[in-house]
A and B are shown apart, each in its own frame.
Chain A
Amino acid sequence: MAHAYTPGLKVTTGMTLRKRRILPLKGEVVVRVGQDVAPDDVVARTSLPGDATLVNVAGLLGVSADEVPDAMVKKVGEHVEKDEILAEAKSFFGLFKSNAKSTMTGTVEDVNKVTGQVLLRGAPVPVEVKAYVRGKVVEIVPEEGCVVETYGTFVQGIFGIGGETHGPLVMACESPDQHLTPERIKDEHAGAIIVGGNLVTAEALKKAIKIGVKGVVAGGFHDKDLKDFLGYDLGVAITGHETLGVTLVVTEGFGQVDMAKKTYDILAAHEGREACVNGATQIRAGVIRPEVVIPMDPGDEALVAHEVSHGLDLGAMIRVIRVPYFGRIGKVTSLPAEPVVLDSESKARILEVHLDGDPAPVQVPRANVELIES
């Protein structure tokens, strides 16, 4: 049998993380290897080409396109103010003058003698890339950015919205099976990353924004609430660009699902520390999952548990990721080799799992479970 793997989300107390901080276009890197950086430190900057627009100079002057280059008052590379005259033409023995004015402030980039159009370019737009996590610069990608390395706790979520942010971690629920309701969000949570239990509601997110909470981490979220919150039905899971005022990281899935105890316990152990979160999710080519990164200081090794990564073996802890047992966690008791006919009449390879709180093991297709690393 070929090597099989069951993708699971990474949840670990301590690991070395390397974050590539790259500009969208080439630019200037402002840090050096070995430099310590904080989340808000700028590591690279560039300027995106400004907005561009075309002006139909031939049309405005009433001349043929090939006459436009000679009619230009402003030449290629020259600066031009909005409403300033770009080109002029004289007609009827010089008695009448017509002109074409610039529609924006910028630079003349191109004059085309076939189309008679002039391309204007606005001022460059500055773009900065920040470090995002506290750590050390370990590599410079010339003209593009750098790699920041940090050691810390890493919790990968399954779905998120909103971009990179950071703040102190605060547990807003007392256990992983509680709802994160608006009442649990207090004024003192302003600027924090708060952790909920099995469900965060749209109302709670709205309150979080109102108070100024920077990030919310919860086990589950209803799709209906996602639609209410975003204002549209999310068709394809490509997120991270939302500017709603808060970043959300869902750790388990849609619906009411208890946050995995391990995830909850790890986050609880770091309460008060600075957490960096990113809701960006892309479930298509180049999967990106949302995350919580809690960088550690020297001497924090006691918080790191010894973790062994193993495959889908007997005794392995798994999470079921599809109905009818969606969200349930249990221990693998058997891994039959032969495919089994399911209730849906599909034939698939299964495993038997003893779900927490159940009297007897149940069968679940292997495709419908996720390994929980211990």
Chain B
Amino acid sequence: MGRARVAINPADIKVILATDCGSTTTKAILIQKIGDEYRQTHRGEAPTTVEAPFEDVTMGVLNAVTEVGELAGRRLVDDEGNIIRPATETEGCDIYISTSSAGGGLQMMVAGVVRKMTAESAERAALGAGSIVMDVICSNDHRLPHQQIERIRQLRPDMILLSGGIDGGTQSHVVELAQIIAAANPRPRLGSDYNLPVIYAGNKDAREHVAEELEKKTHLFVVDNLRPVLEQENLAPAREKIHELFMEHVMAQAPGYAKLMAMTDAPIMPTPAAVGNILKTIAEQNDINAVCVDIGGATTDVFSVFDKQFNRTVSANLGMSYSISNVFAEAGLANIARWVPYDLNEQDLRDNVKNKMIRPTTIPQSMGSLVFEQAIAKEALRLAFIQHKSFATSLKGVQQQRTIGDVFSQETAGETLVDMMKLDLLVGSGGVLSHAPRMSQTAMMLIDSFQPTGFTRLAKDSIFMMPHLGVAAQVHPEAATEVFTKDCLVFLGTCLCPVGSGKAGKETGTYSIKFPDGKVEEGALIYNTTKVFPLPDGQTAQVTFKPARGFDVGGGKGQEVTREVHGGEVGLILDGRPRPIVLPEKPADRVAELQAWMSALDAYPMDRLHQVAESAAG
């Protein structure tokens, strides 16, 4: 499969070309060795061409590559449409790699015996492999077998992951699930000439019986149990098999992918799997807890690493173009409108949202259009993060051994791993965050939707390079991590938010900020107010925060904390608003509060915003 891959010594790699084929845009970047370091030097993009009338993903790829080549002054595509390799002084690249989420990405269905146990582990394996999970079938999902059969038939996934039972445990439930899958006789989404791939990663003792049910009707693959004992997950074999089948079965069916696979020097990775790959690497290297969100046109992916545990969720119908109407439907007009600092006409808004859905590649031209789009983004991000928090949990169904020290602890199995007080780094990527005209808008969207607490460093993926770097990490980890640190992230600054219940006008605590030039800022952070101090990227400041009684900034209630904080394009943001953020119901108060926050951040030109408000009212 793929181009005849010649082992290249990483030291000989001077030019790396990487593309990411998204559902709307194909993005190409060029990484070059300049002196002793790898840097991302150029980027290009072109519309993705998976769909009619083109139906060949490589056209979009070559368009994006041609653009990056023109910008770099380096010819990358020859007259026959081949990517030139190896690199010389003026043309070609040493390796070409790609990720893909076009054509709907990887769509899976998972099955497991108990929803909160094996089925959830299977879902985690599928999501971690970069898939969209269309449905989870399990023995206790309150659907009758014929309803489950009908559902499998309707959905037509790319593949199914079946799990259930610990090794040596009961077999009957997982065999019954196999029987249900066989009864549905599922057909793959793309192509009709092959049997649907089914991966069995359940009780090893049931393999023979599962094979009896599924071997004739599906293409069955057996891997190690993903939950061999209750206390342990073993997701890697299932994930690896998913990646393998994604290449062999799913990608091979999508228009032009056979050609693309032949062009690349490493297997094509599903985009989310590549993003997860780079985030895990960075969290491990720096020993930090990190959350990354990628808000796309159709879906929003959230990745987190807390205490070295990686989780990914994908909100399949929360996105800014194809799925924008669904964000509207799920969040409701009131929740979106609360982030807009003026009144809105419902009919116009509804029509505008639908018009964006049917013409997904348009961009906001007017200020009003931008403000509204960013309000929708806040809700899409908020909803996606709620979903993530409820999924990224400790293993459920595990008996907890408690000691006397745990008497006062409320922690139980299945608690979310996402602890915002422990979050060190929050990274936003995807068009609406990466391409926001002002950096402070990105910071505002991240803070309003994720509502970080304590000290949290904020960054954005400058040009959504994480997928490229995730796949590059497979072939050249050194170059990938170097580019990630130097070129990929744009640091926005640090957000400090004390948590506690307070009253308007009262203090949440006092701060003392020692800047690198020796200047010291001191004061009180008043409840429900915000302050922003400039602190450029590359600089740090020492912040001491003494929370008021009942408030916590990470050290415990009322406990003073001193931290070195990093600057960025926005600076140091002191956020005294409550968690969760509650906006006043009275329109005038809500508008005043929002305007104060936007003004503190310098998120929009306030004069222009007033004009927009006036014309909306008029």
Contacts and interface: CB of A to CB of B under 8 A. Distances in A.
Given A1-B67, A287-B51, A322-B362, A344 B355 contact: no
Interface in A1-51: 1-5, 7, 24-26, 49, 51
Interface in A92-133: 109-110, 112, 114-117, 119, 121
Given A345-B437, A346-B370, A65 B172 contact: yes
A198 B179 CA distance: 54
Interface stretch (A261-269, A328-336, A361-369): A361-369
Interface stretch (B87-95, B320-328, B458-466): B320-328
Contact of B365 (A53, A115, A286, A322): A322
Contact of A367 (B104, B361, B605): B361
B351 A223 contact: yes
Contact of B172 (A26, A116, A254): A116
Interface string B208-231: 010001000000000000000000
A323 B369 contact: yes
Query: Is the contact region of chain A dominated by helix, strand, or loop, or is it mixed?
Result: loop
Given A224-B347, A233-B329, A254-B350, A5 B47 contact: yes
A112 B359 contact: no
A314 interface: no
Interface in A157-193: 158-159
Nearest to B332: A233
A343 B365 contact: yes
B149 interface: yes
Contact of B209 (A114, A253, A287): A114
A112 B364 CA distance: 59
Interface string B299-334: 000000000000000000100001101101110000
Contacts of A222: 347, 350-351
Given A110-B179, A112-B175, A284-B298, A323 B360 contact: no
A353 B185 CA distance: 55
Interface stretch (A77-85, A205-213, A234-242): A234-242
A359 interface: no
Contacts of A258: none
A321 B317 contact: no
Nearest to B189: A285
Contact of A25 (B46, B70, B187): B187
A7 to B, nearest CB: 8
A26 B192 contact: yes
Q: Interface of chain B, helix or strand or loop or mixed?
A: helix
Across the A-B interface, give the 8 residue pairs with the lowest CB-CB distance, nearest first.
Answer: A235-B326, A285-B104, A345-B437, A223-B350, A344-B370, A255-B351, A2-B67, A233-B329
B338 interface: no
Contacts of B370: 344-346
A284 B437 CA distance: 27
Interface of B: 23, 44, 46-47, 50-52, 63-64, 66-67, 70, 102-104, 144-146, 149-150, 171-173, 175-176, 179-180, 182-185, 187, 192, 206, 209, 213, 298, 317, 322-323, 325-326, 328-330, 346-348, 350-370, 435, 437-438, 605, 608
A370 B103 CA distance: 23
A324 interface: yes
A283 B358 contact: yes
Contact of B317 (A109, A236, A281): A236
A365 B363 contact: yes
Given A112-B175, A285-B103, A324 B354 contact: no
A200 to B, nearest CB: 14
Given A65-B172, A222-B347, A323 B363 contact: no
A180 B176 CA distance: 55
Given A3-B63, A236-B325, A254 B354 contact: yes
Given A54-B179, A345-B370, A367-B363, 17 more contacts: A7-B361, A25-B192, A54-B180, A116-B172, A117-B179, A158-B358, A222-B350, A235-B326, A284-B23, A285-B104, A286-B50, A323-B365, A323-B369, A326-B355, A343-B366, A344-B364, A346-B435
Nearest to A223: B350
Nearest to A109: B183
A5 B173 CA distance: 54
Given A115-B175, A254-B355, A326-B355, A284 B182 contact: no
B371 to A, nearest CB: 9
B322 A236 contact: yes
Given A1-B67, A25-B187, A235 B329 contact: yes
B298 A226 contact: no
A234 B328 CA distance: 10
Contacts of A305: none
A330 to B, nearest CB: 15
Contact of A237 (B103, B325, B347, B348): B325
A322 B144 CA distance: 46
Contacts of A114: 171-172, 175, 206, 209
Given A115-B172, A323-B366, A367-B363, A2 B184 contact: no
Contacts of B213: 110, 112
A254 B176 contact: no
A237 B52 contact: no
A15 B52 CA distance: 17
A90 to B, nearest CB: 23
Contact of A2 (B70, B172, B192, B608): B70
Nearest to A58: B172
Nearest to A116: B172
A115 B179 contact: yes
Contacts of B346: 224
Contacts of B192: 25-26, 144
Nearest to A49: B185
Given A51-B146, A235-B323, A322 B359 contact: yes
Contacts of A244: none
A286 B103 contact: yes
Contact of B437 (A144, A286, A347, A364): A347
Interface string A296-338: 0000000000000000000000000111101000000000000
Given A224-B347, A322-B369, A345-B605, A53 B145 contact: yes
A119 B179 contact: yes
Nearest to A368: B362
A7 B361 CA distance: 10
B70 A367 contact: no
Contacts of B187: 24-25
Given A51-B150, A115-B179, A117-B176, A255 B438 contact: no
B351 A52 contact: no
A344 B347 contact: no
B363 A348 contact: yes
Which of A227, A326, A348 lies at the interface centre, i.e. has the most chain B CB atoms within 10 A of its CB?
A: A326
